[in-house]
Each structure stands twice: as structure tokens, then as C-alpha cells.
Amino acid sequence: PEHVAYWKNLELPGYNGGPFADRSGGLILFSASDKATAVGMVLNDPFQKSGVVDTHWLKEWAVE
């Protein structure tokens, strides 16, 4: 689907993503230079733009 191609074509460092086993949603991990850039990438996701996803969370991960 467009959603998968969108994220893969961004060629983001640290990108990994996929659906949950029960298909109730999914998780995408990626690196961005700042929060505004990350927000822009999420809002341009075809799933977000077409309304397939109506709720999302964008969290900064403190890797330890």
C-alpha cells in the first residue's frame, strides 16, 4: 500500500515499522532532526491524510 511505500521511500535512519500481531494498529520507529519534522512526516502519511488512521501518538523515545 501507499502507506508502506511512503515510509520506506523516506529512507529514514533507524526506521522500523509494521502492524501489531492482532492487526489493531501498528508502530513506526524513526529518527528525525526535530519534532516539527517528525510531525510533518506523520501528517503526510497516506493513512493519516485519507482518514484510515484517526488517532496517532508521536512520542520522543529516550533510548537508554
Query: How many Cβ atoms from other residues are within 10 Å of residue 59's Cβ?
Result: 6
Q: Is residue 56 part of a domain?
A: no
Work out how many domains the chain is built from and give that number: 1
For residue 9, is it within any domain?
yes
- C-alpha distances out from residue 17 to 5, 13, 64, Å: 12, 12, 20
Residue 17 covered by a domain: yes
Please state, in angstroms and rounded to a whole number, the distance separating the CA atoms of residues 60 and 31.
Answer: 9
Residue 58 is assigned to a structural domain of this protein: no
What's the pLDDT tens digit per position in 27-49?
Answer: 999 999 999 999 999 999 999 99
Task: Please answer whether residues 19 and 29 qualify as being in contact, where contact means their C-beta atoms are separated by less than 8 angstroms.
Answer: no
- Looking at the domain assignment, is residue 39 inside a domain? yes
Q: Examine the pLDDT at 14 and tell me if it is beyond 90.
A: no
Report how far apart the first and last C-alpha atoms of the chain are (Å, whole number).
34
What's the pTM value of the predicted model, to 2 decimals?
0.84
Q: H helices within 1-64, ranges in order?
A: 2-9, 35-43, 46-50
Residue 21 in any domain: the answer is yes
Task: Find the domain containing 31 and state its range.
Answer: 2-50
